[in-house]
Amino acid sequence: MIFDLIISVFLVIAGIFGLVGSYGLVKLPDLMTRLHAPTKASTLGVGGALLASMGLALKQGSLSWHELLITLFLFLTAPITCNFIAKAWIARNADPAILPPTGTHRTWATLDLTEEPIEPVLTPPGKPGRPS
Amino acid sequence: MIDYALAFAFLCFGIGALLCMWRVTFSPTLPDRILALDTLVVNMIAIIVLFGMYHGSALYFEAAMLFAMTGFVSSVAYAKFLLRGDIIE
């Protein structure tokens, strides 16, 4: 009975968090604000669903570690994906005037390991192509 | 009680997947679409896990794990392609 209660609470929390994450994706106005909703709320929602699944397996008498593996993988990969999407947005769509200065001769979206000044090579927004 | 909670979670994640599809269809920029596809993958993982709970089978966790891996790799590859014009340099 107490297991049922815990599993149900986890499922309801997971559903609410997942719905909030996806609703924020539609509702928020800008990509940089929109990145917050899926990377935090949706990941937490999936984590709750996986915890509920683990509780159900524990209730049936077997402890399985697959759910922890999936949870760990999702919690590790969500920030990396978020970072890559933000860099792609900066490289393509961001106005360089609103960004703070980087202190180097490159923009925020490219890695700069060189010391000498290099002219930044940027593709204009809305025109995709190879930047080299 | 678990059945009702499971139905509620199915409903929430299903509506979430529909909202992601709306964002994939109507979005101002390309990185928005990548983000929406990534969120769609996350919602689908949750639905697969809930489906495995509904059927009481442990087979679906392998599918969820594989889906998480391919979703992560495809999102990063797409973003990298937009960023550099190439995936592996």
Give me the tens of pLDDT residue by residue for chain A, a chain 132 residues long: 888 898 899 999 999 999 999 998 888 888 888 888 888 888 888 888 888 888 888 888 777 777 788 888 888 998 999 988 888 888 887 777 777 777 766 667 765 555 555 566 666 666 555 655
Per-residue pLDDT averaged across B5-13, rounded? 91
Query: Of the candidates A81, A85, A84, A94, which has an alpha carbon nearest to the alpha carbon of residue A126?
Result: A94
Q: Both tokens of residue A21?
A: 């994450």
Q: Both tokens of residue B32?
A: 């928005």
- Name the residue among A7, A49, A131 with its Cβ closest to that of B46: A49
Task: Look at residue A63 in the predicted model and tell me its pLDDT.
Answer: 77
Per-residue pLDDT averaged across B30-56, rounded? 90
Task: Look at residue B52 in the predicted model and tell me its pLDDT.
Answer: 87
Residue type, B15: I
Per-residue pLDDT averaged across B25-49, rounded? 90
- A65/A67 Cα distance (integer angstroms): 5
Task: Look at residue A129 in the predicted model and tell me its pLDDT.
Answer: 58
- Name the residue among B5, B32, B64 with its Cβ closest to that of A70: B64
CA distance A5 to chain B (A): 8
- B42/B47 Cα distance (integer angstroms): 9
Task: Look at residue A66 in the predicted model and tell me its pLDDT.
Answer: 76
**B26: pLDDT strictly greater than 80:** yes
Query: What is the Cα A99 distance to its own chain's centre?
Result: 21
Q: Is-above-0.95 flag for pTM?
A: no
Percentage of chain B beyond pLDDT 70 is 99
- Name the residue among B36, B68, B86 with its Cβ closest to that of A73: B68
CA distance B49 to chain A (A): 7
CA distance A3 to chain B (A): 10
Task: Look at residue A131 in the predicted model and tell me its pLDDT.
Answer: 55
Q: What domains does chain B contain, in order, with CATH numbers?
A: 2-82 (1.10.287)
CA pseudo-torsion sign A38, A42, A46, A48: positive
* Residue B22 confidence class, pLDDT cut points 50, 70, 90: very high
Contact A45 B58 (CB under 8 A): no
Task: Look at residue B58 in the predicted model and tell me its pLDDT.
Answer: 77
Cα end-to-end span (Å), chain A = 63
**B41: pLDDT strictly greater than 70:** yes
Minimum mean pLDDT among A49-53, A65-69, B36-40, B47-51: which range?
A: A65-69
Chain A residues closer than 8 Å to B19 by CB: 22-23, 25-26
